[in-house]
Amino acid sequence: MGSKKKNLSEHGGIHLSGAAKIRISIVVSEWNRTITGSMEAAAVKTLTEHGINPKNISIRLVPGSFELPLGAQYAIEYLKPDAVLCIGCIIQGETRHFEFISQAVSQGIMQLNLDYSLPVIFGVLTTDTVEQAEERSGGRHGNKGVEAAAAALSMIALRQNTDNS
């Protein structure tokens, strides 16, 4: 069902000022680490391609996606970033863990966005199978890490443009 219009991987139109001073925190789930590792690497590549200094990118690991919101909150409070990327991969299993974790994580991340008035990006795959997750972390459906980085930069640019208007 994915359409080109919905794919944030095509991120040509981000107009960012002072990229070299922008600070980004990436919080990554260790659960499904092969997949989250590919997303993390793609996110870092996208950020540096847009002029973010690698020294200004901090990466912190949390045990699973459920811990992403608190990991992001620690990053916000201690590292003072301009945006946080939360990267995780939740795969549907036999239990209802999938629904509980997915819902808790998305709500926790949204709450941080509004409480801190800061872009906290939902870079979390929620798939039925490992194969679907692989397809979205460097396979035929792109890489959610690229999209997460592009979304963070777009929101920073939006804030800059809103400040200036």
Report residue 69 as tokens. Answer: 């919101």
Cα gap 22→85, rounded to integer Å = 14
Shorter beta-carbon distance to ligand DLZ: residue 45 or 97: 97
Provide the CA 122 distance to its chain's centre, in angstroms. 5
Residue 57 in contact with ligand DLZ, rule: CB under 6 A: no
Q: Among residues 126, 21, 120, which one has the least CA distance to residue 71?
A: 120
Q: Which is nearer to ligand DLZ, 13 or 93 (CB)?
A: 93
- Per-residue interface string for the shown chain with ligand DLZ, residues 64-103, x marking contact by CB under 6 A: xxxx--------------------xxxx-x---x---x--
Distance CA 101, CA 109 (A): 12
Among 31, 47, 144, 155, binds ligand DLZ (CB under 6 A): 31
Interacting residues toward ligand DLZ by CB under 6 A: 29, 31-32, 63-67, 88-91, 93, 97, 101
